[in-house]
Structures are given as C-alpha cells and as structure tokens.
A = this chain, B = another copy of it.
Amino acid sequence: MARVFALIMAGGVGARFWPRSREKSPKQLLPIAGEGTLIQNTVARLDGIVETKDTFIVTNRIQKAPIIKQLPTIPPNNVLVEPIGRNTAPCIGLAALFMRRIDPEAVMLVLPADHIIKDVEEFHRIISTGIQVASETKGLVTIGIQPDRPETGYGYVQILEDKEKNPYSVQGVFKVKTFAEKPNLQTAERFLESGDFVWNSGMFIWRIDSILREIGEHLPELHQGLQNIDSVLGTEKYVPTLERVYGILRGISIDYGVMEKASQVYVLKGDFGWSDVGSWDEVYRIAEKDEQGNVVIGNVILKDVKNSIIQSNGKVVGVLGIEDLIVINTDDALLVCKRGKSQEVKEIVDYLKRKRMNEFL
C-alpha cells in the first residue's frame, strides 16, 4: 500500500459556535461533543492509517500554538501557517508542496479538523478503499455521506448513473455527475428522494501528484503561486513569498476550483455516523438527551424545560418553563437562541465584527 499523508485543515473559527468558539479558541480546538477536542479526535481517528509524522495541519497564526499544544505527537514543523485564509484550494496546494518533497507518489488524505465520526471502523474501511482507488486510478476521490434526512446545512454530490460501471463500483465507488451547494428544504427533499445525491463531506483522497496536476490544469493562478512558493521552500524567503502569493490569490474551494472540472472524479459512499457539527442545532441533534430531551453541561438548574441544550462553564444557570432553546453561557458572552435558528448565530458574529467588538470575537 502507498505511503499516506494526511492534511488536516484547521483554519476556521466556527462562527456559528459563538460564544463558545472564538478566534483564540475556535471550534476545532474545543470539546464540542464530549471528550477530546475535535482536532484531537480527528488525529486520533487516523491511528492505523496515517503516521503522525506524516500528518500535516494547515492553520492560521492565532491557532498555531494551541494546536501544537493540543497535538504533542505531531511534529511542530508539520503545522503550517497560512497568512490569510483563501478557502480550501490554496490550503491543499500548499500542504501538497511539503508532501511532494517527501514522496510525490504518496496518497494524500484531506480532512477538515472539526468533524465527528462515530463509527471509526467503517471510516477506516472507506478510507482504505479510497486510498486504493486514488492510488490505482490517479483520479480524485471525494467521500460522500449517505443522507438520512433533507439536510439544508450541507452541500451535496450527485452520483453519475454510469452505464458502463467503473471497476470499483462494487466497492461503492461512483463517478460524480455534479456538485450542488447547500439547497433549500424543498430541493433537499428532492435530493433525498432521488436517491442519487450524497452529502459532500469535504473529505478527499488523491495522490499528491494528481491533485497538483489538476490544480495546474484548472487553477493556473494558484499553480503559479504554488510554484513560486515551492522554489523557496525551506529557505528564509519562504514566509515573505507565502505572504506575497496569498496576498493576491483568490479564495476558492477545491470543490469548485478543481473537483467540478476534473475528468476523473470518484465519490465513495460512506455511512459512518458522520457530522460536520456545523451548528448548535447539530450538536443537539447528535447528543445524547435526558428524559426531557435536554442536553445539559455545567451547573444548570432546570424546571419545566424540554428539548433544549444548555451549556455553562462555572456559572450557575437557572432555566424555567422553556422549550426548544439553545443557551450557551461563557465567561464574557451569552447566546440564547431558538432551536432551528442556530445557523443565524453567524449574524451575531458579523455584527460584533462590524461594531469592532473584538474582545467578543
């Protein structure tokens, strides 16, 4: 089996997890759902698939130190810093440069740092298949999640009804027809009904030379930038070059920049209890509930409270006579939100940004 690198993308803030998630303690560095932070769990989940010395993390300046602290088994030099976030395509390209220096024919596993996966055994099985397909075909593999509800919080991937089956179809590997952005409910219901849509998990598998080749073909500007960076890799010119290149790069996702345009794209259907825990509503959905349907963390006193998620650290919280509420209490900020509305938490963060209330970001 080919050597396997992992890229864990840890650049985001998780604005929808305000006020728990903050610039200095973003979602992936928090124990959002039980023990271990999300990024710690993401690394632990790779045990047996990728060695820690082959695991790279791309993040930003603010998160670098806490990430190194949370992940003592990862070599600190494997924690790469982007000067500014430019979405996933530049992030993946940058990490690929480092990996190519070690082994250009190796496989690269791309994983967001902030997902939850309940069935690790099944996850390993799927990943192993993906590594095999990526390795043998030199194509691009994305992991699609079998949907169980008309979720509007995820993007979707449509599977191609392929007349001539591809050689891996018995293993649940399909060609991709199209990528679809987050749908409205009506569209999501149609997707679910049609049976040929899966959730776009944001997890990818490919050979390092394959993804760099495809970037070269479909994202010439990024390709040029990466070449400039590559030429100074390991020198003192690396940081200023990186800053100059990122300064003029467009932000673009790998999905739209590469996956939609590449010719040999496979989607691998997975069903391993996946969640991107994208919002407090999602945390509520996946959490274990008590008899009243509540999910409670911290010093919380409830009376006549149903189907709510209440978190507090240190402070006491008294809750009376409410239903379907999200209450997140931190040292300096509080969120009170109707369940089903937690996608809009981002708007509070946007407001704080506009008002330059930086201490609460």
Which residues of A are at the interface with B, using a C-beta cutoff of 8 A? 18-19, 301, 303-304, 312, 314-322, 325, 327, 329, 331-338, 340-342, 344-345, 347-348, 351-352, 357, 360
In the complex, the 5 A-B pairs of residues with the closest C-beta atoms, listed nearest first: A321-B338, A321-B341, A318-B348, A320-B337, A317-B334
User: When the two chains form their complex, are residues B336 and A319 in contact, meaning their CB atoms are under 8 A apart?
Assistant: yes
- In this complex, what residue of B is CB-closest to A344? B320
A337 and B302 alpha carbons, distance in the complex (Å):
10
**Apart from A315-B332, A320-B347, 12 more pairs, CB < 8 Å:** A19-B318, A303-B344, A312-B334, A315-B331, A316-B352, A317-B333, A318-B334, A318-B336, A318-B345, A320-B344, A321-B344, A327-B336
User: When the two chains form their complex, are residues A341 and B312 in contact, meaning their CB atoms are under 8 A apart?
Assistant: no
Q: What would be 9 A-B contacts, judged by CB atoms less than 8 Å apart?
A: A18-B318, A303-B347, A303-B348, A316-B352, A318-B334, A318-B335, A321-B340, A327-B334, A336-B336
B contact residues around A342 at 8 Å (CB): 320
B contact residues around A340 at 8 Å (CB): 321
User: When the two chains form their complex, are residues B301 and A322 in contact, meaning their CB atoms are under 8 A apart?
Assistant: no
Question: Contacts A332-B315, A344-B303 known; A338 to B360 CB distance under 8 Å?
Answer: no
CB distance from A206 to the nearest CB of B (A): 40
B contact residues around A352 at 8 Å (CB): 301, 316
Question: Contacts A301-B348, A347-B303, A348-B301 known; A333 to B357 CB distance under 8 Å?
Answer: no
- In this complex, what residue of B is CB-closest to A317? B334
CB distance from A92 to the nearest CB of B (A): 33
User: When the two chains form their complex, are residues A341 and B320 in contact, meaning their CB atoms are under 8 A apart?
Assistant: yes
Dominant SS among interface residues on chain A:
mixed
**Residue among A301, A304, A312, A342 with the most chain B CB within 10 A?**
A301
User: When the two chains form their complex, are residues A325 and B316 in contact, meaning their CB atoms are under 8 A apart?
Assistant: no
User: When the two chains form their complex, are residues A316 and B347 in contact, meaning their CB atoms are under 8 A apart?
Assistant: no
User: When the two chains form their complex, are residues A341 and B304 in contact, meaning their CB atoms are under 8 A apart?
Assistant: yes
CB distance from A34 to the nearest CB of B (A): 23
**Residue among A304, A315, A334 with the most chain B CB within 10 A?**
A334
A317 and B314 alpha carbons, distance in the complex (Å):
17
CB distance from A285 to the nearest CB of B (A): 17
User: When the two chains form their complex, are residues B320 and A348 in contact, meaning their CB atoms are under 8 A apart?
Assistant: yes
- In this complex, what residue of B is CB-closest to A335? B318
User: When the two chains form their complex, are residues B303 and A320 in contact, meaning their CB atoms are under 8 A apart?
Assistant: no
Question: Contacts A301-B348, A303-B348 known; A332 to B316 CB distance under 8 Å?
Answer: yes
User: When the two chains form their complex, are residues A336 and B317 in contact, meaning their CB atoms are under 8 A apart?
Assistant: yes
CB distance from A315 to the nearest CB of B (A): 5
User: When the two chains form their complex, are residues A318 and B301 in contact, meaning their CB atoms are under 8 A apart?
Assistant: no
Which of B312, B318, B345, B360 is A337 in contact with, Cβ under 8 Å?
A: B318
B contact residues around A329 at 8 Å (CB): 329, 334
CB distance from A127 to the nearest CB of B (A): 37
B contact residues around A303 at 8 Å (CB): 344, 347-348
CB distance from A351 to the nearest CB of B (A): 6
A336 and B335 alpha carbons, distance in the complex (Å):
11
A333 and B298 alpha carbons, distance in the complex (Å):
12
- In this complex, what residue of B is CB-closest to A18? B318
- In this complex, what residue of B is CB-closest to A348? B318
